[in-house]
Structure 1
Amino acid sequence: MSSIKLTCRGLSVIFTQGITQFLARVDKMSKTSGPQTHQGVPYATLPHLVNAHGQYLFRKDWEPNLKPGQGPRALVFLSHGYKQNCLQYDEFAKQMTSYGLKVFAHDHVGHGQSQGYCADVTSFDVFVEDVIQHVCQVRQQHPGIPVFAVAHSMGALITILAALKRPGLFAGVVCTGAALRINGIPTGWKLLCLKVLAYFFPLGIVPGTGEAGGTPTTRYTEEMDPDLKDPLNHHHPGWRYRITAEGCGAIERVWAGAASFTSPVLLLHGGDDPLAPPAASTEFYQNIGSEDKQIKVYPGLYHEIIFELPEDAAVVRKDIIDWIVHRLPSL
């Protein structure tokens, strides 16, 4: 009789182990068979959000070190530029958290670890809608906490359009190297041709932008350039027809709405930016409706001022943090 009990107990153990292994295998399959990043990583294993078009976007949150029951002083949304990814800003984001700021970001569609064809988007409005969706989600989790944005280049265009579409979305916007105009982009009848080509050949490369795509964005040597070293950035030369046409349309909309832009804003630009002329930031500053507005041009700096040579990048980063903290209640 005891041997029968032992056998039953043994079978029970074997059965339990089998079920456990089966469930573990099912869990592993569910994590590897769903949507994946361009790098082959399942979104089930990554922090992400799903946009209104069903696309999976990689997201990242940087939390400040707070005391129990204490909330962040402010929320800061990071909006990266063309061919970049949000993890590129990891060091700067961590620096901001030391001031009690919660920082959050996502890779725009077609960038980094988000879905979408590499360095492309079907409509610029997708970028804008995703920012509004993400910001609203985080605001709901932290009611009453002001939201700021730090946005670079194309990301600045996206953020400005989001602020125009949703006045009051941001307590303040910081733009670095805003792509308010782009050197080498067609105008006039050439722009019309570009839009036609974008319709028929959306993923084609705009002639002449291959060289622009290789333009240095910092004063680092090519071997040290952080943009070129980041494996999550897109390194193919040139700009695709469709996203270029969409970007041109976005630039037109930003200028058309300049007088209606009333968010507090800090415009920062490299004086020797070879991609986005600093004069455009100056003109935008003069035309916007914001009462709280500042502009600073850094002589000799290129496009990626946050990632410039260490001594210069430190100044830019401090200027950004000081501007945000100055608009918060004292501790």
Structure 2
Amino acid sequence: MASEIKIKYEEEFILNSRGKRLFSSRWIPENENPKALIFMCHGYAMECSMTMQSTATRLAKGGFAVYGLDYEGHGKSDGLFGLVNKFENIVDDCFHHFSTICEKEENRNKMRYLLGESMGGAVALLLHRKNPHYWDGAILAAPMCKMADDIRPNAIMVTILSGLSKIFPTWQIVPGQDINEIAFKLPEVRQQIKANKYCYKGKPRLKTAFELNRVCTEFEQRLNEVSLPFLVLHGEEDRVTDKAVSKQLYDVASSTDKTLKLYPGMWHGLLFGEPPENLDIVFKDIISWIEERSRYGNTRLERELKQQNEDFVKTSY
């Protein structure tokens, strides 16, 4: 009988290009070589080391090295709490940190996967767009490609947001439902998030609401540009992000390797907000998907080596 994998947890602060300290965390299998690298992109108002700890632990016990980063203005990182001043800043910070890990000598031959939950799904897809051939695949849990209609600002509110966010970007006056109440099925999970001082609980700031709406609107028009292998997961009872757009992503993405899983009766928080039996189903699908692709071999690495050889031949003449 195989021994249980022991997990080593570590954390540190790194500096981004704007001089802000960002909190990073990692869960590494201690008694075996990691099968692959998984980079977590957390949701809006969330953080990695506590709310996504169970997610990371499950994956690490499956033999994967897991890394997380609290975005600026989120969790234990610097920045005004709950403010997304520019979505592209989040993407740049994640790419710099994640790629630094990927380029370490011990990691260069390992496959790289993004795991994006809710807003983190948008971050993962923008990381893919930033460098389309860098990642080996993405797991997108209820990705924020479009907010559900009952929490999305109407056209008049979008116009107001656009104007006011330029003048009063940090104001916390955007109306809307308490996302916590409609995202996570289990009351005890909702209570844990309420008690977590690193999870933002105020009303969305004007600039944050504008940025989230801007990114969602743009995504709807560019879903066909997604080309990496992906697994998209969505609860049938999700009231936060639109499952119809996850279906649309699956239909129109140019990826040749794509999988869609819809879960009857499940809510938005698929990774830590569901009963244990539902979480077992979701993580079995995630781990099986990654392991199946890992068995095919590292096609990205083969492609990179081929390109290096071609470049060498060109420069030799």
- Where structure 1 has 5 or more consecutive residues not aligned to the other structure, the ranges are 1-44
Contact 2:44 2:120 in 1 (8 A): yes
* Deviation of 1:247 (Å): 1.1
Q: Which has the higher contact order (CA 8 A, sep 6+)?
A: 2
Equivalences for residues 249-328 of structure 1 within 5 A: 249-307=214-272, 308-328=274-294
Q: 1:125 to 1:74 in 2, by over 3 A?
A: same
1:82 matched to 2:47: no
CA distance in 1, matches of 2:245, 2:161: 22
Offset at residue 206 of structure 1 (A): 4.4
Does 1:108 find its partner at 2:71? Answer: yes
Distance (Å, rounded) in 2 between the aligned partners of 1:279 and 1:46: 37
The answer on 1:72 being equivalent to 2:34 is yes
**Change in CA separation of 1:156 and 1:223 when aligned onto 2, cut-off 3 Å:** closer
Q: Distance in 1 between matches of 2:219 and 2:240?
A: 18
Which digits, 9 at most, give the CA deviation of each residue in 1:100-149, with x for residues without a partner?
A: 21111110111110011101122101111011111210111111211101
Q: Structure 2, unaligned stretches of length 5 or more?
A: 1-9, 298-317
- Measure the CA separation in 2 of the matches of 1:232 and 1:126: 20
1:280 aligned counterpart, secondary structure:
helix
Q: How does 1:121-270 map to 2 (within 5 A)?
A: 121-141=84-104, 142-183=107-148, 184-209=151-176, 211-221=177-187, 225-236=191-202, 238-270=203-235
- Separation in 2 of the partners of 1:265 and 1:225? 32
Q: Is the 8 A contact 1:261 1:289 kept in 2?
A: yes
Gap change, CA 1:326 and 1:296, over 3 Å in 2? same
Moved over 6 A (4+): none
Aligned-residue RMSD, C-alpha: 2.0
Q: Secondary structure at the match of 1:327?
A: helix
Shift of residue 91 of structure 1?
Answer: 2.1
**Residue 125 of structure 2 aligns to which amino acid in structure 1?**
I
Q: Secondary structure, in 3 states, of the residue corresponding to 1:215? A: helix
Q: Which amino acid aligns with 1:185?
A: R
Which residue, out of 110, 113, 117, partners 2:80? 117
> Is the CA contact 1:131–1:159 (under 8 Å) kept in the aligned structure 2?
no
Normalising to structure 2: TM-score of the pair? 0.83
* Counterpart-to-counterpart distance in 2, 1:157 and 1:56: 23
8 Å CA contact retained: 2:220, 2:245:
no
The number of residue pairs the alignment matches comes to: 282
The one-letter amino acid of 1:150's match is L
